[in-house]
Structure 1
Amino acid sequence: MSIARRRTSRRALVASSAALLTVLGGAAPALAATAPAIVHAPLGHAPLGHHGGGVLRSTSSNWAGYAATGGKFTSVSASWVQPSVSCSGSDTWSSFWVGIDGDGSNSVEQLGTEADCSGGSPVYSSWYEMYPAYPVNFSNSVRPGDHFTASVTTNGSGSFTLTLSDTTQGWKRSVNKTLRSAALASAEVIAEAPSSSTGVLPLSNFGTVGFSGATANGQSLSAAGASSITMASGSTTKATTSGLSGGSAFSVTWKHS
C-alpha cells in the first residue's frame, strides 16, 4: 500500500440553510432552520507518521477513525451503536459514517447518523451524502443506543448503493445514486466534526462510539491496510482513535469541542 497522501483542499461552501432545506425536500432536518448548512466534507490531515507495529496514522481537523488508501475501493461497511450527546448552551455537531473517497479525492459517497446539540438539546438523525452535493436526511427516527449497520458499494463505473439499517428499531433505507467522476481512492469508517461555509464546526461531546465489523473491499480494515486518524486542531486533540481489535473493531473517544 502506498503511504503517499496529500491534504485535500476544502471546497468552498456558500449555500444558505434555506438552500439545504430545499435539497432535503420534506425530510426532517437534523437542525433548526436557523442553523448553518452543514456538510460531511473530505479529509484534511497532516503528513502520516507511525506508531507501534508500523501502523500508519495521521491527524485531521475533521475526521477520526480509519481510512484505507492505495488501491481501488468498491465497498465499505461497518456497524456501530448510536452514542448519546451531552449538551450545554452551545450548538455542536457530530457524525458517524462509512464511505468511499474523501481521503485524497474531492468527492465522498457516504451515509451514517448524526448526534448534534441545538439550543441546548440533543438532536439525532440519519442521512446519506454524495459530496459535493448536500446531505439528504432520512425521515426515520434515531435514538441513542440504536444499533446501526451501514454499507456503500459500487460497480466501479459510477453506480452506488448506500444502505443504512437500524437493527434496534427495525428500519432500513437503501438508495441508488450515480457519480461517474468518483475516484474510488479510499474507504473509511469515521466519526466526524461536520463543516459549514465557515469551516469545521464544534464537535459534540458524544463520549465514545464503538465501531465493529468494519471492512473495506470485503477485507477487515487491518487486512486492507487502513491507517488510524486522530482529530485535532492545532495543539488541541478533539477525538482519539483506538487500535484495531480483531482487525475490524475500534472506538473513537471525544476529547474537546
Structure 2
Amino acid sequence: MSSHVSTRRNSLRALSVGAAVVSVAGLSMAGANAAPRTPAQLTSSIASHESHALHGSRGHNTTTEASNWSGYAATGGSGAYKSVSSSWVQPAVSCTSQNTYSSFWVGIDGYSQSDSGLEQTGTEADCINGRATYGAWWEVLPAAESAYSVTVRPGDHLKATVTNDGNGQYTMTLADSTEGWTKTTHHAGSQGVNGSSAEVIAEATQVNGQIAALSNFGTVNFSGATANGSTLPGSSDEIVMENFNTGSVKAQPSALSAGAFSDTWRNYN
C-alpha cells in the first residue's frame, strides 16, 4: 500500500474519532443543562376531595395519639394564639400501586375537642395511580382544601405562616424559595374558632371523608417553628400518628428543639 493512502486513512480515522468525542460531549452537556422533569401536580379536582381535620385523638402521659396527625401543637386558653409559622423541606414519596396521601402544614385551631375550626396552609405528597403527585394548598374548615396553581418538587424549601388579623379574618401565606413563588390568601376563619392552639403537622390526609393510607414520605424536617412570633414552646404537645385498631405507629416526630424537629413515616395504615 502506498504511504500517501495509508496516511489519508489514518487522518480519516482521527477525524471520525474526534467527531464521536465531540458528539458524546455534546450529548452530555445537553443532559446536564436539561430542565428537571416536573412531577405531577395537585389539581383542583383532587383537592376538592381532601380535608385536614383532626380525627380520633387521645392523651397518653405527655403524648397525644391521633389517627391522622403527627407533629407538635402549642396549646393555651381561648385566644392564646394569633400566628404560627414554620419552614420545611418538601419530602419525596416512594410509590407503589396503592393510592396514598400525606400533607405538611401549619395551622391555628382544630386541636382542642371544643374547637372545630382550623385555618391552615401547606403542601402535600401523594401517590395516585402509582404516580408521585405534589402540590400546595390552603384550607379553612369545614370547606375542603383549595389548591394553588404552582409547581412543588421534592427538595423545595417551603415556609408557611397563618395569622389571625382580627375581626374573624385570617391571612395564610405559603412561599417556595426554591421555585420562587409566594401565595397569600385572606379569608374569614372557621365559625366558632377560639385560637387555643397552633400546630406544625405531618398528616395522613382525609380523602372523601376517610383517612387515607399515609404516603411513605421518609422523613420531613421542620425548622424555625414559631407561635405568636416566638419559638414553638418545648412544652408543646407531642402528637404521634397511630392506628387505634392495630396499635401501629404510622408517623412519629423527634424531640422538639429550638423550633425544629423531624417527622418520620412508619407505616401506611
Name the TM-score class by shorter chain. Answer: 0.7 to 0.9
Residue 122 of structure 2 aligns with an amino acid whose one-letter code is G
**Alpha-carbon distance in 1 for matches of 2:144, 2:123:** 15
In structure 2, the residue corresponding to 1:47 is in which secondary structure?
A: strand
Name the structure 2 match of 1:216: 227
Unmatched segments (≥5 aa) in structure 2: 1-39
8 Å Cα contact 2:84-2:229 kept in structure 1:
yes
The answer to whether structure 1 residue 159 and structure 2 residue 172 are counterparts is no
Residue 63 of structure 1 aligns with an amino acid whose one-letter code is W
The answer to whether structure 1 residue 135 and structure 2 residue 145 are counterparts is yes
Name the structure 2 match of 1:69: 75
In structure 1, the residue corresponding to 2:132 is in which secondary structure?
A: strand
Give the number of aligned pairs.
222
**Alpha-carbon distance in 2 for matches of 1:100, 1:35:** 20
Shift of the 32–240 alpha-carbon distance from structure 1 to 2, 3 Å rule, reads: same
- Cα shift at 1:91: 0.3
8 Å Cα contact 1:162-1:174 kept in structure 2:
yes
Name the structure 1 match of 2:240: 230
CA RMSD of aligned residues (A): 2.0
The answer to whether structure 1 residue 126 and structure 2 residue 127 are counterparts is no
Q: Matches of residues 15-164 of structure 1 in structure 2 within 5 Å?
A: 30=42, 37-50=49-62, 57-71=63-77, 72-104=80-112, 105-164=115-174
Name the structure 2 match of 1:54: none
**Alpha-carbon distance in 1 for matches of 2:122, 2:231:** 19
8 Å Cα contact 1:43-1:102 kept in structure 2:
no
Residue 183 of structure 2 aligns with an amino acid whose one-letter code is R
Residue 128 of structure 2 aligns with an amino acid whose one-letter code is S
| Equivalent residue in structure 1 for 2:218, among 207, 219, 235 | 207
**Alpha-carbon distance in 1 for matches of 2:53, 2:160:** 18
**Alpha-carbon distance in 2 for matches of 1:120, 1:233:** 24
- Cα shift at 1:34: 8.1
**Alpha-carbon distance in 2 for matches of 1:212, 1:197:** 31
For each residue in 1:11-56, what CA deviation from the matched residue of structure 2 results, as whole angstroms up to 9, or x when unmatched? xxxxxxxxxxxxxxxxx97269589812111353112413xxxxxx
In structure 2, the residue corresponding to 1:142 is in which secondary structure?
A: coil
Shift of the 31–201 alpha-carbon distance from structure 1 to 2, 3 Å rule, reads: farther
> TM (normalized to structure 2)?
0.78
In structure 1, the residue corresponding to 2:239 is in which secondary structure?
A: strand
Name the structure 2 match of 1:195: 206
For each residue in 1:93-112, what CA deviation from the matched residue of structure 2 results, as whole angstroms up to 9, or x when unmatched? 00000000110111110000
- Cα shift at 1:199: 2.1
| Percent pairwise identity | 47
Max radius of gyration: which structure?
2
- Cα shift at 1:119: 0.6
Higher helix share: 2
- Cα shift at 1:197: 3.7
Shift of the 130–236 alpha-carbon distance from structure 1 to 2, 3 Å rule, reads: same
Residue 210 of structure 1 aligns with an amino acid whose one-letter code is N
In structure 2, the residue corresponding to 1:149 is in which secondary structure?
A: strand
In structure 2, the residue corresponding to 1:133 is in which secondary structure?
A: coil
